[in-house]
Amino acid sequence: MNINQKGFANIVLIVLVVILAGAVGYFVFTKKPAPVVEQITSPTTTPPTNNTVSQNPPSAPFIKVLSPNGGETWKMGQTYSIVWEVDKPYGAVQIQIVTDETSDQPYLLTNGYLEGDAAKAGSYSFTLKNWWVPGWANGKYNNIQSPVELGKYKIRLMTGVGGPTDSSDKQFSIVK
């Protein structure tokens, strides 16, 4: 063999080794589906007593307003806390104040959504002033500071599009 033939043979050998290594890597590192095992039982067979399968379906995601939840009285200029409970930490929570649960024009206690640690905290404190905060709510932007009207309201918590929401069980009052 002359030197050109040896060089060509080496290149072919290297290409074959790379192809072989790639094929072996593909079969070794790709996930294989678990085999399907079908178990057939007769309808008269009773399950064993140590059966650990839960009969309860998983619970739906939730957020729950704990306070104010109805009957409280808030006075202008005082500091209050909105308190809630969640099944898991959501990335964002918006606190709305509404006259009823069907309101599509809520007032906001925060400009937009609380995010990060503030959303996970489960509470938000604020001082009740004469003006609501402008911002996004229900897909609409209200850029006008709305005056606080005395009356009865509910807190509505929203976790984002498609996420769980909750409102106070009953109305609370805002007075002077």
Task: Give 124-133 pLDDT, tens digit per residue.
Answer: 888 888 776 6
d(CA 75, CA 167): 20
- Sort 153 into a burial class: Cβ within 10 Å, 0-12 / 13-18 / 19+: buried
d(CA 63, CA 119): 11
d(CA 57, CA 164): 18
Name the band, by pLDDT with cuts 50, 70 and 90, for residue 32.
low
**pLDDT 10s digits, 91-125:** 788 888 887 666 666 777 776 678 877 777 888 88
Q: Give the pLDDT score at 163.
A: 81
DSSP letter at 120 equals: H
User: Which amino acid is it at 71?
Assistant: G
d(CA 59, CA 67): 23
Q: Give the pLDDT score at 111.
A: 64
Q: Output 36 or 98, whichever has higher pLDDT.
A: 98
The DSSP element (H or E) to which 25 belongs, if any, is helix 3-29
pLDDT at 54 over 70: no
